[in-house]
Amino acid sequence: MSRPRIVVVGAGFGGLQALRHLERRIPSGAADLSLIAPNDYMLYSPLLPQVASGMLTPQSVAMSVHRMTRESQFIPGHAVGVDTSDRTVVVQRPTGEFAPVPYDRLVLAPGSLTRAFDIPGLTEFAYGNKTLAEAVLLRDHVLGQLELANDSRDPVEREERCRFVVVGGGYTGVETAASLKRLCEEAALRYPELRSEIRWHLVDIAPKVLPELGDRLGRKALTLLRNLGIEVKLKVTVREVTPDKVVLTDGRALPSRTLIWTAGVSPSPLMGTLDKPTQGGRLEVDTDLRVPGLPEVFAIGDAAAVPNVAEPNGSYCPPTAQYATRQADTVAHNVVNSILGRPLKEFRHKDLGLVVDLSGKDALARILKLELSGCSALAATRGYHLLATPSNTARARIMANWAIRGLTGGEISRLGFADDGQPASFVANEDVEYMDTEKARSEGARLLENMKERYG
């Protein structure tokens, strides 16, 4: 292979980091590196709740692909199919057109989507907090509800607009509920009449919140949430959503115009198109991150089922940024070694723990076996995010945002994104039609032929 074409799908914790490791390992000009992704930034999603609460600007968590890569080609669009026999990815560009991208080595890291359940009204009326657009819209929507409630004399409307329901007791749900509850408290300083009417609920079908933190910190999280004024209801979930109410499985109907759904993720549908075994939608890979039977295709991150050899129970790695980032390093090493005909290494990583920012001064952290709460947890949480942020520019922006917020307090003006009142559906980014390997094969061949005719 004179000049191998290495294609990475996805600009997230796995994909973009893998590309950067590849750029470091491969001498300049020795390979063609390409990145396919719908957006030209890596989203630092663990800080999305802080974008939703206005603590951070959206730009500070969107890390530019162009700043972070040196000589890779960025291809905007969704990878919608992979022709594994002729080694071509079919990309749907933002214009709707299709384009073929041939590869010698392929790294699939398209991440995950919010997991939707078959609950009436959910996809029509729920809000998510998984993308930058959703976080920005969520803030606008919540502030808009308070504004309208304050302006209404109808007690039913005021109740509906002042009640917010978050589903999901994992880190996304807990951090989103806590940070938005605090945003509402700040807003209530301007709307004193609403202060006693604002209600936040957090519900989860599980018997505890944040199970990853362990029992002691999990109980502490529950206490902190309740002290913050969030009603936590466990062992229940949502049965139905309408524009003005959320019906729970225990029969309770909560008058509310805001349901925020954070109950889990499902892997990118791209992984199901390869005609290879999946685990809950995640594409199965070997311990060296290669897809079995496709030695030139690798998969990592939330969309890959990576055997967790460092854990004794033989489970798969959890879908977290912590694992995706480490897998990126291993995959870059293995891509290069597979080209050079050298041995590949196994992915191995021992979980380092979890940090949870409950906003204000509240935080919890489990770092290896160390359990922290209070100021030490807050310092660990902030420090972890700064260290895990893969760009100095972003790090500087985040720190500046925290400092400005500390000095000047929060802002409660809406930006106008939710003016049409339409929720951002959490499956919005999947307005994409995927194709199986057969279709990708015929489409890829046709597109390559067209290209040859046009460009020679």
Ligand X SMILES: Cc1cc2nc3c(=O)[nH]c(=O)nc-3n(C[C@H](O)[C@H](O)[C@H](O)COP(=O)(O)OP(=O)(O)OC[C@H]3O[C@@H](n4cnc5c(N)ncnc54)[C@H](O)[C@@H]3O)c2cc1C
What is the DSSP track for 298-335?
EE-GGGEE-B-TTSTT--BPPSSHHHHHHHHHHHHHHH
Beta carbon nearer to ligand X, 300 or 344: 300
Provide the minimum distance between the beta carbon of 376 and ligand X in the complex, in angstroms, as a whole number: 17
Examine residue 60 and tell whether it contacts ligand X (CB under 6 A): no
Examine residue 424 and tell whether it contacts ligand X (CB under 6 A): no
- Report the distance separating Cα 31 and Cα 6, nearest Å: 7
Number of chain residues interacting with ligand X (CB under 6 A): 34
Return the residue nearest ligand X (CB atom).
12
Report CA dihedral (16, 20, 21, 22) to the nearest 10 degrees: 100
Examine residue 39 and tell whether it contacts ligand X (CB under 6 A): yes
* Biggest alpha carbon–alpha carbon distance for the chain: 74
Strand ranges inside 145-257, DSSP E = 163-167, 199-204, 230-234, 238-242, 245-248, 253-255
Provide the minimum distance between the beta carbon of 44 and ligand X in the complex, in angstroms, as a whole number: 8
3-state secondary structure of 48: helix
- Residue 2 neighbours by CB under 8 Å, 6+ apart: none
Taking residues 240 to 279 in sequence order and writing x for each that binds ligand X by CB under 6 A, - otherwise, the string is ----------------------------x-x---------
10 Å CB burial of residue 237 (0-12, 13-18, 19+) is: middle
Examine residue 54 and tell whether it contacts ligand X (CB under 6 A): no
Q: Stretches 8-16, 20-28, 201-209, 343-351: which one binds ligand X (CB under 6 A)?
A: 8-16
Residues 9-38 that bind ligand X (CB under 6 A): 9-15, 36-38
Provide the minimum distance between the beta carbon of 129 and ligand X in the complex, in angstroms, as a whole number: 5
Residues 313-352 that bind ligand X (CB under 6 A): 319-322, 324
**Exposure b/e, 114-150, CB count within 10 A at least 16 = b:** bbbeebebbbebbbbbbbbebbbbbbbbbbbbbbbbb
Residues 116-135 that bind ligand X (CB under 6 A): 129-130
- Report the distance separating Cα 36 and Cα 44, nearest Å: 18
Q: Which of 4, 46, 169, 281 binds ligand X (CB under 6 A)?
A: 46
Residues 80-109 that bind ligand X (CB under 6 A): 109
Q: Stretches 5-13, 153-161, 181-189, 287-295: which one binds ligand X (CB under 6 A)?
A: 5-13
**Binding interface with ligand X (CB under 6 A):** 9-15, 36-39, 45-46, 48-49, 78-79, 109-111, 129-130, 171-172, 268, 270, 301-303, 319-322, 324
